[in-house]
Chain A
Amino acid sequence: MKEYIRELFSGYVRIKVVGSYTELFINRCIEYHIPIWDIMRIDNQTILLSLYINDVKRIRSHLKRTRCKIRIHERRGFPFLMRRIVHSRGFLAGVIGCLLLIFILSNMVWSISVNGATPEVEHKLKQAAIELGLKKGKFIFQLPSNQELQQSLTESLTEITWVGVKRNGTTYHFEVVQKQLPEKQKALSPRHIVADKKAIVTKMYVEEGQAQVEENAYVKPGQLLISGFIGKENKSQLVPARGEVYGKTWYVSNVSIPLESKFKTNTGEAKTTYAIGLFRFHIPVWGIGAPDFKEYETLEREINFRFLKWELPFSVQTNKMLQTAEVIRTYTKSEALKVARTVAREDIANKTSDEAEIKKEKILHQEVENGKVNVKIHFEVIEQIGKDIPIIQGD
């Protein structure tokens, strides 16, 4: 059996030996230690046998002595196979090239389709997608994952509530849910404008309706500011009140800032390891071993390849290990106060509408307790205080 391997690797030939003294030829081969095997008789004059190609030259003298002639019947083994492959290398190159081309094309984006968006939004979406690198002819494995795409697209477009990203082979599908922007009501039904919160009125514009309060008046929530009734009492008429009322409002924000806080940051040191995944095995290729640093977080990414519609069983895995370091941030008392102020301002900005303006701020109370600075800040804000309520007619 072990001979069999040798036969295949060194290559052998089946030759026909023609002559009257073929047995003599066999005996001479044995005598001179030329291995021959699988000898068969074909007819009186001819036998068929196997011989290593290296030995073909060596039998020449024996052939002469025994007056035999040989004809090559078959060539077998690896060297001949190689020769045949080399001989037809043009064809082989074509086949490999074709497979390679299909492989490359299978991993490209071929089309992008958008569903459920108006043409305008569709255009914007495609622009945003191109910014993220998603366009025709890009390699799929270079693109961020579907979830990442979905997240960044949803965030970048204001007109969109949600984008679903689905990849189907070489096609990307976007399923868009557009925001239903409420249309500005033109035909207004009769209404009043009342105060939304307690405030001191600072400014008033009345476009339609009748002002019920004056500037510098203190109003409580629900108090009528602009009335929808116009005209004299007996000839009153109902209109939709329109106007803007600005008032001074007050907020108190409690902020507590720890003087010392621990958090983790990336130091910028990173190590990336690469591995090839074959079926379910991971074969590390580059960057074997643990990183030089102890504390790190890892970002894993797996790139899969496709061939036509099939997922290939191999993939490239990258493992990025980012060094993290625990940082202790310490504030002095005055720094902590500064931070508390900005935090409080943000807090107020979240509570009020966009056009609100902070007029004054005042620290009411501050204390250091358990390593924290607790601050109570009072804000004076100018903002719109008006709120529409419809006038229900009837009775």
Chain B
Amino acid sequence: MAKWKHNLKNWLTRRLELPADAVMDLPRITMVGQLHIYIENHQGVLMFSNEEVRLLLKQGQLLIRGKDFMLKTILPEEILLEGKIEHVSYLDRPES
């Protein structure tokens, strides 16, 4: 059922040229060089330290590594992170 719904959404986005993040609850990540990273559509902060930030997403997690992190703004669905960003990666939710 869930799989089928996901496929439909996928098909719809491609067909109707809808923005993927809106339809599929995907994060939209904007980076300005290494200085800022702006993440929309997150589900919460899992971990926050000076070198590492882990954000919960609908599917899996987003891991950001770097230095001197500071959460400039944090709103229900948006985060603006400042610091020296070195590494951004997705961690898939372990299949269960």
Q: Which residues from chain A sit less than 8 Å from chain B, CB to CB? A: 22-23, 26-27, 30-31, 33, 35-41, 44, 47, 49
Contacts and interface: CB of A to CB of B under 8 A. Distances in A.
Counting chain A CB atoms within 10 Å of each CB, the highest count among B70, B74, B75 belongs to B74
A30 B76 contact: yes
A44 B76 CA distance: 24
A49 B71 CA distance: 9
B10 interface: no
Contacts of B46: 23
Contacts of A47: 48
Interface string B38-68: 0000001111111000000000000000000
A30 to B, nearest CB: 5
A144 B90 CA distance: 84
Counting chain B CB atoms within 10 Å of each CB, the highest count among A22, A27, A33, A47 belongs to A27
> Nearest 10 A-B pairs (CB), nearest first?
A39-B71, A27-B44, A41-B49, A41-B50, A23-B45, A40-B70, A26-B45, A37-B73, A30-B76, A23-B48
B6 interface: no
Contacts of A38: 70-72
23 contacts: A22-B48, A23-B48, A26-B74, A30-B44, A30-B74, A30-B75, A30-B76, A33-B76, A36-B74, A37-B73, A37-B74, A38-B71, A38-B72, A39-B70, A39-B71, A39-B74, A40-B50, A40-B71, A41-B48, A41-B49, A41-B50, A41-B69, A44-B49
A23 B74 contact: no
B76 A31 contact: yes
Given A30-B44, A37-B74, A39-B74, 20 more contacts: A23-B45, A23-B48, A26-B48, A26-B71, A27-B44, A27-B45, A30-B74, A30-B75, A31-B76, A33-B76, A35-B75, A36-B74, A38-B70, A39-B48, A39-B70, A40-B70, A40-B71, A41-B48, A41-B49, A41-B50
B76 to A, nearest CB: 5
A35 B48 CA distance: 17
A12 to B, nearest CB: 14
Contacts of B49: 41, 44
Contact of A37 (B44, B45, B48, B71): B71
Nearest to B56: A27
A174 to B, nearest CB: 70
Contacts of A37: 71-74
A260 B3 CA distance: 114
Contacts of B74: 26, 30, 36-37, 39
A23 B47 contact: yes
Contacts of B71: 26, 37-40, 49
A98 to B, nearest CB: 44
B62 to A, nearest CB: 14
Nearest to A32: B76
Nearest to B81: A39
Nearest to B47: A23
B23 to A, nearest CB: 23
B24 to A, nearest CB: 22
Nearest to B73: A37
Nearest to A39: B71
A47 B70 CA distance: 10
Contacts of A22: 48
A226 to B, nearest CB: 114
B31 to A, nearest CB: 19
A47 B45 CA distance: 13
A30 B76 CA distance: 5
A36 B73 CA distance: 7
Contacts of A40: 50, 69-71
B84 to A, nearest CB: 14
A200 B17 CA distance: 131
Interface string B15-50: 000000000000000000000000000001111111
Contacts of B69: 40-41
A26 B58 CA distance: 18
Contacts of B47: 23
Contacts of B48: 22-23, 26, 39, 41, 47
Contacts of A39: 48, 70-71, 74
A44 B69 CA distance: 14
B70 to A, nearest CB: 5
A27 B47 CA distance: 10
Nearest to A37: B73
A47 B50 CA distance: 10
A23 B45 CA distance: 6
